[in-house]
Amino acid sequence: MQTNANDRIRLSRSDAEDFLYRQAEYIDTRDYEAWIDMFTPDATYWIPARPGDTDPKTQLSFLFDDVPSMAARCERLLDHGTGGQQPITRSSHVIGSVRVLPADDANGVQVRSRFLVTQFRRDAFKHYAGSFTHHLVPWEGGGWKVRSQRVDLIDCDGVHDAILQVYL
């Protein structure tokens, strides 16, 4: 973590990539506890249902979770008795085109990236593509945490045959 003359917090692209790769690995290996620990206690995770949407509280969403909702969803994903996850969904993330930008406030950075996610369950593949926007803030003791994560699917306004149950 570096600061410049204006005292703005900086994150290198390489460190941002490592952060995003670690986040993806936690989801792909179903280490949801470590994944949730990457978020601040007041964080949100949002997948809007239309391009350009700006308010998850008043506009339709595929998913809009706070940390307690994320923890409950992850608990269900790991519960072997959950019928919706028998057999479990397996996933593979590919992340690229990572850019680090100033955040809207002086307390963090915005990281934008592109993704391809492939999920496999019940002999069927699903593919998702789009962009991530992470608002990262420095955390006590060093490191970074996610204050908000927005997932924009390139086909968000298209027809979807299933409800998203697993995080992208």
Q: What is the pLDDT of residue 163?
A: 66
Question: Domains along the chain?
Answer: 2-153 (3.10.450.50)
| 82-134 pLDDT, tens digit each | 656 678 888 999 999 999 998 777 789 999 999 999 989 888 898 999 999 99
Q: How confident is the model at residue 2 (pLDDT cuts 50, 70, 90)?
A: very low
157 contacts: CB under 8 Å, gap ≥ 6: 49, 50, 51
The pLDDT tens digits for 53-73 are 999 999 999 999 999 999 998
pLDDT of residue 7: 44
- Pairwise CA distance, residues 105 & 123, whole Å: 45
Q: Which two tokens stand for residue 30?
A: 């179903």
pLDDT tens-digit readout, 140-161 = 878 999 999 999 999 998 887 7
